[in-house]
Amino acid sequence: MGQEINLLDGYPAAKRPIDERARLITPEHRAVAREFGRDFFDGDRLHGYGGYNYHPRFWTETVRRFRDHYGLKPDASVLDVGCAKGFMMHDFKLLMPGMTIAGLDISEYARDHAIEDMREFIQVGNATALPYADQSFDLVISINTIHNLALEDCKRALREVQRVSRRSAFVTMDAWRNEAGRERMLKWNLTALTYMHIEDWKKVFAEAGYTGDYYWFIAESA
């Protein structure tokens, strides 16, 4: 197994009104969010992002962090699993114009409304069956995506990430470290089907044979 490392520490932190959100979210909101369509990306905030738009402050420093940490060469190949509208892909390409970039997302809406220069590099598909050959990429990244699957499909997706990576991988999962964190996650979660204590995630990684790096999305109070 790889190492627990926060490679998203350059991503701007957001205040999360967890208790207020918990009072408002219904099972219907969660059902709509899990369609990963217009409502999730660009609809009401209770269904998801409330408007998922590009801004360089979100990914510019993060992609630089990935490049430097993994020592990516100018012609490296990177896959973003759960790439949404391709914003991280776009910033990778700005930083490393000679690289090969690819993205996959479950959402046709996200692909069709992706940032224009990345649209051709995004495929619609499921993380449980990545449409790429073995060892295709120097780095495979999946941020807050695999946990949207049921547990056995999480394992399949992790095996797929492992399969298509020839060198490095990094994933983040919804998780908690203590009971207070578990309670916050239950209030905050909108789309994840699998979320658990960080030690239990590590057991899942081992079972799936995932040897890449990892970190957590922890629902922090505002």
Q: How far apart are alpha carbons 147 and 103 in whole angstroms?
A: 18
pLDDT at 46 over 90: no
pLDDT (mean) for 169-192: 93
Residue 14 binned pLDDT confidence (cut-offs 50, 70, 90): low
* pLDDT tens for each residue of 68-102: 999 999 999 999 999 999 999 999 999 999 999 99
In contact, 8 and 62? CB cutoff 8 Å = yes
Q: How far apart are alpha carbons 96 and 179 in whole angstroms?
A: 42
In contact, 8 and 143? CB cutoff 8 Å = yes
Q: What is the pLDDT of residue 222?
A: 46
Q: What is the pLDDT of residue 186?
A: 87
Residue 42 is inside which H or E element, if any? helix 38-42
DSSP class of residue 79? E
In contact, 205 and 214? CB cutoff 8 Å = yes
Burial class (CB in 10 A: 0-12, 13-18, 19+), 146: buried
Q: What is the pLDDT of residue 219?
A: 75
Retrieve residue 133's tokens: 């050959």
Q: What is the pLDDT of residue 124?
A: 98
Q: How far apart are alpha carbons 21 and 185 in whole angstroms?
A: 12
Helices (H) and strands (E) in the chain, counts: 9, 7
Q: What is the pLDDT of residue 18?
A: 67
pLDDT (mean) for 201-219: 96
Q: What is the pLDDT of residue 13?
A: 72
Residue 15 binned pLDDT confidence (cut-offs 50, 70, 90): low
DSSP 141-187: EEES-GGGS-HHHHHHHHHHHHHHEEEEEEEEEEEESSHHHHHHHHH
Q: 172, 37, 168, 39: which is closest to 107 by C-alpha?
A: 37
CATH number for domain 27-129+136-217, candidates 2.60.40.420, 3.40.50.150, 3.30.2080.10, 3.40.50.1980: 3.40.50.150
Give the residue extent of every domain in the chain: 27-129+136-217
Q: Beta strand 77-81 with 100-105: parallel, antiparallel or unpaired?
A: parallel
